[in-house]
């Protein structure tokens, strides 16, 4: 499958190139960066890539069968529009999308197949499943609190993964997350309401991404934790999603579909 990486020089882009260069079935055809990127036209350097195999470009990668987007939320609607015009499959990893940008994803998915996941790692997607099931089984007498930790460069908070975990917990309880979410606490906030789902963000150092979901009752506490030690876990998941998209009809898919949970 011919794959283009959008955001190729970024932290995720570099991991995608490294993992894509050695993954069977993947052919990297474009390393796309923003128009003011200083290394446009220069060779992408990775020990696994043949000499001069790939250079940074800023045009739309029309020859790709699938584009993988790990860029910046504001660019996503335009990227989706271009992919839809070219009939390309789309793996969307960029997080922090506004409601309007999210609508653009739904609109594009009526025309092309899109895998959209705030966290593409296999382990996190298993965690989502465990959280959904746990919330369903344990019920509202177990208070749910989610704590995430990320590196100091991360621009959005809480992380997209923490939001997905909160949604999985709310889905397990068959409630709407908007009605029960509490993002951080400060001051005289009063007693914790039954059924609330707390979400908290820590920032510092070079932490790739830790997420803990705690279920707390009076007599016991369950904590489920995932710790990513390398961005390769996200990159491998995104490439797996791209390969899975081959031949799929237009529609919005998640890693649940890619991993066969649905």
**Catalytic positions, written as ranges:** 150, 154
Q: Is 59 exposed, middle or buried (0-12, 13-18, 19+ CB in 10 A)?
A: exposed
CB of 120 to ligand NAD, least distance (A): 4
The residue sitting closest to ligand NAD, measured at its beta carbon, is 10
In the bound state with ligand NAD, the residue whose beta carbon lies nearer, of 30 and 138, is 30
- Our CB check for ligand NAD shows the closer of 36 and 186 to be 36
Residue 197 Cβ, how far from ligand NAD at the closest point, in Å? 21
What is the DSSP-derived secondary structure letter of residue 43?
B
Smallest distance from ligand NAD to CB 4, Å: 10
DSSP conformation letters of 44-58: PP-TTSPTTS-BEE-
Judged by CB under 6 A, how many residues of this single chain contact ligand NAD? 24
Q: How far apart are CA 4 and CA 6, in angstroms?
A: 6
19 alpha-carbon distance from chain centroid = 17
What is the footprint of ligand NAD within residues 158-177 (CB under 6 A)? Answer: none
Question: Three-state DSSP class for 258?
Answer: helix
The smaller minimum CB distance to ligand NAD, of residues 208 and 250, is found at 208
d(CA 80, CA 257) in angstroms, rounded, equals 20
> Could you tell me whether strands 209-216 and 143-150 are parallel, antiparallel, or unpaired per DSSP bridges?
antiparallel
Of 11-19, 49-57, 138-146, 185-193, the segment contacting ligand NAD by CB under 6 A is 11-19
Q: Interface with ligand NAD includes 33 (CB under 6 A)?
A: yes
How does 149-171 read in b/e, with b if 16+ C-beta sit within 10 Å?
A: bbeeebeebbbbbbbbbbbbbbb
> Which 58-77 residues touch ligand NAD, going by CB under 6 A?
70-72, 75
Nearer of residues 173 and 236 to ligand NAD, judged by Cβ: 236
- Identify residues 80-119 at the interface with ligand NAD (CB under 6 A): 93-96, 117-119
Site string for ligand NAD, 203-232 (x = CB under 6 A): ------------------------------
Structural contact between residues 152 and 204, judged by C-beta atoms closer than 8 angstroms: yes
Beta-sheet pairing, 251-253 with 197-203:
unpaired
The residues that touch ligand NAD, with contacts defined as CB under 6 A, are 6-7, 9-13, 32-34, 37, 70-72, 75, 93-96, 117-120, 234
């Amino acid at each position: 499958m011919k794959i283009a990486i959008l955001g190729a020089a970024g932290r995720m882009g570099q991991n995608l190139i490294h993992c894509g260069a050695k993954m069977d079935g993947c052919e990297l055809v474009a390393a796309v960066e923003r128009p003011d990127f200083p290394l446009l036209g220069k060779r992408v350097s990775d020990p696994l890539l043949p000499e001069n195999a790939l250079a940074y470009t800023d045009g739309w990668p029309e020859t790709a069968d699938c584009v993988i987007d790990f860029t910046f939320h504001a660019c996503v609607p335009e990227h989706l529009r271009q992919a839809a015009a070219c009939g390309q499959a789309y793996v969307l990893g960029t997080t922090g999308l506004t409601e309007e940008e999210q609508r653009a994803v739904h609109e594009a998915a009526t025309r092309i197949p899109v895998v959209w996941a705030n966290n593409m790692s296999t382990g996190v997607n298993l965690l989502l499943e465990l959280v959904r099931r746990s919330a369903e089984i344990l019920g509202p007498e177990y208070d749910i609190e989610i704590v995430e930790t990320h590196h100091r460069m991360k621009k959005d908070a809480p992380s997209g993964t923490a939001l997905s975990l909160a949604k999985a917990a709310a889905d397990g309880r068959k409630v709407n997350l908007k009605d029960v979410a509490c993002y951080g606490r400060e001051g005289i906030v009063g007693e914790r309401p039954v059924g609330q789902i707390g979400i908290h963000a820590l920032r510092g150092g070079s932490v790739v991404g830790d997420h803990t979901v705690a279920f707390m009752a009076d007599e016991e506490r369950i904590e489920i934790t995932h710790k990513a030690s390398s961005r390769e876990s996200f990159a491998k998941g995104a490439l797996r999603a791209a390969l899975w998209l081959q031949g799929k009809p237009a529609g919005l898919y998640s890693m649940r579909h890619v991993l066969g949970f649905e």
